[in-house]
Amino acid sequence: MSSKQPPAETGRNDFIRAMVVSDLESGKYGGRVATRFPPEPNGYLHIGHAKSICLNFGIAEEFGGTCNLRYDDTNPETEDERFADAMAEDIRWLGYEWTQKLHASDCFEQMYEWAEQMIREGKAYVDSQTLDEMRASRGTVTEPGRNSPYRDRAVEENLDLFRRMRAGEFPDGAHVLRGRADMAHPNMLMRDPLLYRIRHAHHYRTGDEWCIYPMYDYAHCLEDAIEDITHSLCTLEFRNNREVYDWVLDAVGIEHPRPEQTEFARLNLDYTVVSKRKLIQLVDGEFVDGWDDPRMPTIAGLRRRGVPPEAIRTFCDMIGVADVDGRVDYGKLEFAIRDTLNWTAPRRLCVLDPLRVVITSYPENAVEWIDAPEFPHDVGKPGSRRMPFTRELWIERADFMEEPVRKFRRLSPGVEVRLRNAYVVRCDEVVKDPATGEVVELRCTHDPDTLGANPADGRKIKGTIHWVSADHSLPCEVRLYDRLFSVPNPDDVEEGASFTDHLNPESRIVVTGARIEPAVADDPAGTRYQFERTGYFASDPVTSEPGSLVFNRIVPLRDSWAKRARVT
């Protein structure tokens, strides 16, 4: 792809879209396509959710359908408005807009009425067993369960009890409402599924209006039905729930055509975790600096790191959708990021580990403002910034070797290199600290005819290095981020170990003495750049300020030199 346009309409043809197409052709839903993204507002959205968002909103876009944002807020104990708001922000940032924003809690009354209807029709009953009794009578995967002693309560008694549950007459755990399905069903989830539990807890939206709350298996399908969803997409681990989904719909009398559940594989990404539980542990255990730590796989973390939303959507397109579990190369995300940034991020020069260079042939107080293009020729986008060239410069310490290794194309004694966007210089003298022997300064001469031109005598310059003016460059802090974990699958831990044992100790390296060219001073925080030869960076939206600049590394550049060095 890259220079070409993304595959757009030719690309996406997964089994779900194929199903949508076939439903459209058969007229099953009268030409309607309605999806929804149904997060529980109990944490932050992550890259795995992004896959689901791209799928649901993407399908709606492609087929002229609708996609709702629906909060599955049926568990008051874990949910919070701040999570809900952050989720909405993340979805918008990804570039999607919902048709309607809805809440399961808006439907509590309707769900309650359906529950009473089920009771009246003998399809649900109030069970008064304790949690342990219920667990014991549910059986196991190989043995059938036993009917609850309360299973045959009279309708009137069930109704009375259920109403009193709602009225708050009972403490948590005293009773539950159960569907009368089949305690011997081979699918454990069908053994009289719990429909309602008592929970005297404050709900962030309904307050104390309710003290009974519907369970996922009861609420989710009904929410879908109320919203007139056509394709209810969820991840593979809900496969067994589908039977309950259909059972509940039947029980309350939802007629066809009605929402149908289809499962797809959740995203597993190398070198990170995407389970909410583990993400919470990382935050609470202060292994990271919060939900938006740039190392987190959360949308907020990726955003803070500087990853553009288009890159995440490109990534989701690349990985596709299937019903097979797997895990995706971290490199694929990096590719998607580089591929969008290469065409959008203006170039700057930044020296991470400065080594002083004095151009002895250049006048003492002269300043030359060089016009340097924002993008290289092959990107072909207009624009330029001005770079001050002076007698004293900083270059990258790693770009000099007193005794160069084979194929080293940078600076060494007697060798010429191109200073990016400026002159060709030659290293004449190496100044060392007499005490330590450390190289402290390079004394070079420049070829004054090589600004914007190759040497007139035709000699070839084999390397180009980056630099900044010693006087005009700005000090800055640069945070080099790497993968959060040092193993591809942190979920795979041996007995007694924790996934946090595999945290990469070098996932963040803070460089404090870096110097950057002045043409970033007035940019708003969050601006993305390519620091040439180094990587893609963005100023940190939280901590970077005009006087004290902070840059986050989004992703390094591909580096075939480093790769060669590693191999040989």
Which residues belong to the active site? 40, 266, 276
Measured from the CB atom, the residue of 415 and 503 that comes closer to RNA is 415
Query: What is the pattern of x (binds RNA, CB under 7 A) and - over residues 326-345?
Result: xxxx-xx--x--xx--x---
- Residue of 108, 213, 271, 394 interacting with RNA (CB under 7 A): 213
Binding to RNA by residue 559, rule CB under 7 A?
A: yes
Which residues touch 55 (CB under 8 Å, ≥6 apart)? 16, 35, 233, 264, 316, 321
Binding to RNA by residue 494, rule CB under 7 A?
A: no
Would you state the structure tokens that stand for residue 382, as one six-digit string?
């207009």
For residue 508, the one-letter residue type is R
- Residue of 197, 231, 304, 502 interacting with RNA (CB under 7 A): 197
Alpha-carbon span 286 to 274, nearest angstrom: 17
Measured from the CB atom, the residue of 163 and 546 that comes closer to RNA is 163
- Residue of 61, 151, 159, 194 interacting with RNA (CB under 7 A): 194
Going by C-alpha positions, the residue among 411, 420, 368, 362 that lies closest to residue 391 is: 362
Alpha-carbon span 535 to 306, nearest angstrom: 12
Binding to RNA by residue 262, rule CB under 7 A?
A: no
What H or E segment, with its residue span, contains residue 53? helix 47-62
Would you state the structure tokens that stand for residue 536, as one six-digit string?
């893609």
Alpha-carbon span 1 to 342, nearest angstrom: 12
Would you state the structure tokens that stand for residue 468, as one six-digit string?
């900044």
Binding to RNA by residue 483, rule CB under 7 A?
A: no
Binding to RNA by residue 365, rule CB under 7 A?
A: no
Binding to RNA by residue 493, rule CB under 7 A?
A: no
Residues 435-464 that bind RNA (CB under 7 A): 450-454, 461, 463-464
Residues 33-52 that bind RNA (CB under 7 A): 40
- Residue of 56, 75, 390, 445 interacting with RNA (CB under 7 A): 75
Phi and psi at 383, nearest 5°, equal: 115, 150
CB of 374 vs RNA, minimal distance in Å: 10
- Residue of 5, 30, 255, 324 interacting with RNA (CB under 7 A): 324
Going by C-alpha positions, the residue among 262, 255, 210 that lies closest to residue 234 is: 262
What H or E segment, with its residue span, contains residue 232? strand 231-235
558: left (phi over 0), alpha (psi -120 to 50) or beta: beta
In a 3-state reduction of DSSP, which class is residue 365?
Answer: coil
Cβ atoms 180, 127 nearer than 8 A: no
Measured from the CB atom, the residue of 293 and 465 that comes closer to RNA is 465
- Residue of 154, 155, 167, 188 interacting with RNA (CB under 7 A): 188
Binding to RNA by residue 18, rule CB under 7 A?
A: yes
Residues 421-440 that bind RNA (CB under 7 A): 421-422
Going by C-alpha positions, the residue among 474, 519, 482, 98 that lies closest to residue 294 is: 482
In a 10 Å sphere around its CB, with 0-12 CB exposed, 13-18 middle and 19+ buried, how is residue 176 labelled? buried
CB of 114 vs RNA, minimal distance in Å: 16
Binding to RNA by residue 252, rule CB under 7 A?
A: no
Binding to RNA by residue 379, rule CB under 7 A?
A: yes
- Residue of 409, 426, 443, 472 interacting with RNA (CB under 7 A): 409
Binding to RNA by residue 15, rule CB under 7 A?
A: yes
- Residue of 88, 254, 280, 318 interacting with RNA (CB under 7 A): 318
Alpha-carbon span 49 to 286, nearest angstrom: 23
CB of 353 vs RNA, minimal distance in Å: 15
